[in-house]
Amino acid sequence: MKKTLFIAGVTILALISCEGSGSGNLECITATSDLRAAADAYSQDSSTENCNEYKTALQVYINNGCAGMDQSAYAELDALPCN
């Protein structure tokens, strides 16, 4: 249930933060789509492979500036139990 709520939160956050990013819109749209797919896969199967893909997608999302000032993406990245 927590994963589902987080996925919904990330999606909403991504859509909000991408609105005003100008030239970064395409990067945020792509990063958001990739993050959503990785989060869905990880919520269905929390394997190490899916965890690492989700972690990578979160990192790209953050690096592209899509997380803005919201710390939830950073917290989720730090909390992932990937090996």
pTM of the model: 0.71
Can you say whether the dihedral through the CA atoms of 71, 73, 74, 80 is positive or negative? positive
Per the domain annotation, does 11 fall within a domain?
no
pLDDT tens for the chain, 83 residues: list them.
566 656 656 655 555 554 554 556 888 999 999 999 999 999 999 999 999 999 999 999 999 999 888 889 999 999 999 97
Residue 75: inside a domain: yes
Residue 61 and residue 56: Cα distance in Å, rounded?
9
Number of domains in the chain: 1
- Supply the range of the domain harboring residue 59: 25-83
